[in-house]
Chain A
């Protein structure tokens, strides 16, 4: 019996940890789902996942990187830029993924993308390779 119980406990610990990690980075929201399959699967590169946390009526409650939340005002966005610039300096190859709910108004997503551009500018990375990746659902997924 003992090996069986050992394995079961290991699996439980594994799933508890995995669900915590993915929960921190991937906030529950309905991503846009464009009709074509032009979007690619995310690679294995290191990445900053920038979540635009949806509020009611197409607003944004906060911007979130990992477990840190930033208020959607000027001060919060400056902190966001500083945080991302720090991560980019430490790891110049890092990429930024922006996740926003499909009903969020563009005016709340634009500051997030501007923040990425500003963070790249302040971190002094070669900006010819500067890009942002927008996260969507695959066209054939059921999400």
Chain B
């Protein structure tokens, strides 16, 4: 304040000198800055937010994750509709004897009895076009729908007491080489659905390893 009195010149100089004096009186030369107090208040308000400083935007990631999830759920193909038809292999002769044993000896034929019906299997030949040539006793060619009806009628059951076949009567299906697998399975299914319990495909002896 003493400087003001000694400064030469008019009131303009006096005012400038007063400002300078004011500035030098302030601590640490904080001319023109915000008052310290307000800065302190602001920092104190920010401090609790330090833990959330690295904040990632999650939304796009969750979007992508859900997209992937939906994709995999939609493209996973469950085998839910698949069914199985069981088919016995037991009564057929093995092409290869079990290792370490001799070839199986066929049992001796039973003595001939003229009154016993010949227990020959019912043979169903599946042709390439899907029709079925049924052997004895039908001796007729069927479509698969006709075959279903005929077989169902002829298997003895409470519903068809006059049927000529027991359920255990052997049925041999002999598809032609070029018959599609679909027709072969259709005939097998017809026989199984009719009630036959002894159904199988014809096995050709020594057929192993002879893919066409």
Inter-chain contact count A-B, CB under 8 Å? 210
Minimum CB distance partner of B73 in chain A: A15
Given contacts A34-B185, A110-B207, A124-B100, 11 further A-B pairs with CB under 8 A are A1-B58, A15-B72, A32-B185, A35-B145, A36-B190, A73-B209, A106-B184, A107-B212, A120-B89, A132-B86, A142-B81
The answer to whether B98 touches A121 (Cβ under 8 A) is yes
The answer to whether B178 touches A58 (Cβ under 8 A) is yes
With A117-B95, A121-B98 already in contact, the answer to whether A111 and B178 are too (CB < 8 A) is no
Chain B interface secondary structure, helix, strand, loop or mixed? mixed
The answer to whether B96 touches A8 (Cβ under 8 A) is no
Q: Which residues of B line the A interface, CB within 8 A?
A: 58, 61-62, 65-66, 68-69, 72-73, 75-79, 81-90, 92, 94-100, 126, 144-145, 148, 175-182, 184-186, 188-190, 192-193, 201, 203-204, 207-212
For residue A38, which residues in chain B have a CB less than 8 angstroms away from its CB?
Answer: 85, 189, 192-193
Q: Which residues of A line the B interface, CB within 8 A?
A: 1, 4-5, 8-9, 11-12, 15-16, 18-19, 22-23, 26, 28, 31-42, 52, 58-60, 72-74, 77-78, 81, 97, 100-111, 113-118, 120-124, 127-138, 141-143
For residue A121, which residues in chain B have a CB less than 8 angstroms away from its CB?
Answer: 94-98
The answer to whether A137 touches B81 (Cβ under 8 A) is yes
The answer to whether A133 touches B87 (Cβ under 8 A) is yes
The answer to whether B180 touches A106 (Cβ under 8 A) is yes
The answer to whether B175 touches A106 (Cβ under 8 A) is yes
Top 9 closest pairs, chain A to chain B, by CB: A34-B189, A39-B83, A141-B81, A15-B72, A102-B182, A74-B209, A121-B94, A38-B193, A32-B185
The answer to whether A103 touches B212 (Cβ under 8 A) is no
Tell which of B100, B185, B201 has the most Cβ of chain A within 10 Å: B185
Q: How far is the CA of A9 from the CA of B68 in the complex (A)?
A: 9
Q: How far is the CA of A23 from the CA of B69 in the complex (A)?
A: 18
The answer to whether B98 touches A124 (Cβ under 8 A) is yes
Q: How far is the CA of A128 from the CA of B144 in the complex (A)?
A: 30
For residue B99, which residues in chain A have a CB less than 8 angstroms away from its CB?
Answer: 122, 124
The answer to whether B78 touches A22 (Cβ under 8 A) is yes
Q: How far is the CA of A134 from the CA of B177 in the complex (A)?
A: 18
The answer to whether A105 touches B85 (Cβ under 8 A) is no
